[in-house]
């Protein structure tokens, strides 16, 4: 039983909660027969397209014995045609949980405020807690949490949730971001309150020194296409490539939440190398989310 009803960002979970979810995820991944979500339905609201989020949640619910309903922008009246609070209250009468992949984080908060069932943030412009759970599961499998990780690139929603996730489990994290594109100060403050704010490095090379894992994400996120040229110029020198990895051990792994813009934040050579554990991350989206769903929707 978790200490929270909803997951809007990763620090809605306690440290104990994170370990509980990851333990459950690992057991399910190892073959634990768990169909205790039989006859339960997950409503999946999508304002943004996705490969991994939709497939992992929908397949995951099937594996758990339940069902998922896809609700795209043309299928419901979220924010247009009826207030978000009305959509939330109506869905609560039909489904056992709601997963929402939205632009505005405040919309996710409003869904949760008026819902009578758990609401899971499948991504907003501020946070991506489900990705962080998958990332933590992947790191735990590869190294355990007594490890050093470097985040190189944009201080975006994935990075901000990852900062908080690392703080929750005690991972030693170093962050390298260009000036003006760092993690939000409030996120760094929250990480410090959890007991482990990341070290801020002056360069990617400094960040990756002694790292067991180098993690990056796209420089130009969905919805930022009009900033593309400006951002690519600002991120010159932050690409995860063979030159950057010459500063780390041959055992260092590379993570990316996908989709990747090959040739921008990461090279094709690195992404296709044995260093990359990106496909393990992608698979672990389903296992981590299954662990979360079971813990949110059952009492044992």
Write out the chain's pLDDT in tens, 300 residues.
899 999 999 999 999 999 999 999 999 999 998 899 999 999 999 998 899 999 999 999 999 999 999 999 888 877 677 899 999 999 999 999 999 999 999 999 999 999 999 999 999 999 999 999 999 999 999 999 999 999 999 999 999 999 999 999 999 999 999 999 999 999 999 999 999 999 999 999 999 999 999 999 999 877 777 888 899 999 999 999 999 999 999 999 999 999 999 999 999 999 999 999 999 999 999 999 999 999 999 987
**Identified catalytic residue from 6, 54, 128, 148:** 128
Is 258 marked as binding a ligand?
yes
Q: Do domains 6-128+283-297 and 131-279 have the same CATH topology?
A: yes
**Identified catalytic residue from 40, 131, 160, 239:** 131
Is 249 marked as binding a ligand?
no
What is the spatial distance between Cα 171 and Cα 173, in angstroms, rounded to a whole number? 6
Q: How is the beta sheet containing 148-152 ordered, strand by strand?
A: 199-200, 172-176, 148-152, 213-216, 253-256
Q: Per-domain residue ranges for the chain? A: 6-128+283-297, 131-279
Active site residue 166: no
Query: Is the bond preceding 259 in cis, omega lying within 30 degrees of 0?
Result: yes
The model carries a pTM of 0.97
* Cβ–Cβ < 8 Å for 50, 25: no
Active site residue 101: yes
Out of 2.60.120.620, 3.40.50.1370, 3.30.390.30, 3.10.129.10, select the CATH number for domain 131-279: 3.40.50.1370
Is 24 marked as binding a ligand?
no
What is the spatial distance between Cα 146 and Cα 119, in angstroms, rounded to a whole number? 31
User: Any idea which fold 6-128+283-297 has?
Assistant: Rossmann fold (3.40.50)
Q: Which of 107, 146, 142 is CA-nearest to residue 127? A: 107
Active site residue 228: no
């Amino acid at each position: 039983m978790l200490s929270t009803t909803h997951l809007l960002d990763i620090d809605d979970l306690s440290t104990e909660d994170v370990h509980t979810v990851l333990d459950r995820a690992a057991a399910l991944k190892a073959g634990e027969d768990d169909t205790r979500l039989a006859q339960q339905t997950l409503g999946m609201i999508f304002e943004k397209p996705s490969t991994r989020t939709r497939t992992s949640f929908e397949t995951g619910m099937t594996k758990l014995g339940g069902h998922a309903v896809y609700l795209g922008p043309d299928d419901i009246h979220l924010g247009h045609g009826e207030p978000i609070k009305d959509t939330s209250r109506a869905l609560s009468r039909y489904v056992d949980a709601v997963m929402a992949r939205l632009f505005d984080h405040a919309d996710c908060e409003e869904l949760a405020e008026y819902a009578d069932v758990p609401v899971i943030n499948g991504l907003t412009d501020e946070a991506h807690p489900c990705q962080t759970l998958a990332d933590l599961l992947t790191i735990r499998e590869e190294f355990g949490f007594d490890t050093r990780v470097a985040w190189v690139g944009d201080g975006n929603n994935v990075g901000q949730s990852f900062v908080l996730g690392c703080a929750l489990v005690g991972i030693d994290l170093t962050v390298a971001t260009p000036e003006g594109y760092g993690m939000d100060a409030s996120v760094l403050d929250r990480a410090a309150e959890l007991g482990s704010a990341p070290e801020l490095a002056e360069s990617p090379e400094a960040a990756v020194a002694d790292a067991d894992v180098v993690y990056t994400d796209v420089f130009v996120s969905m919805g930022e296409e009009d900033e593309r040229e400006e951002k690519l110029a600002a991120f010159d020198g932050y690409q995860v490539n063979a030159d950057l990895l010459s500063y780390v051990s041959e055992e260092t792994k590379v993570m990316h939440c996908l989709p990747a813009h090959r040739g921008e934040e990461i090279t094709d050579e690195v992404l296709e190398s044995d260093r990359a554990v990106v496909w393990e991350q992608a698979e672990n989206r389903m296992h981590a989310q299954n662990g979360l769903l079971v813990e949110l929707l059952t009492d044992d």
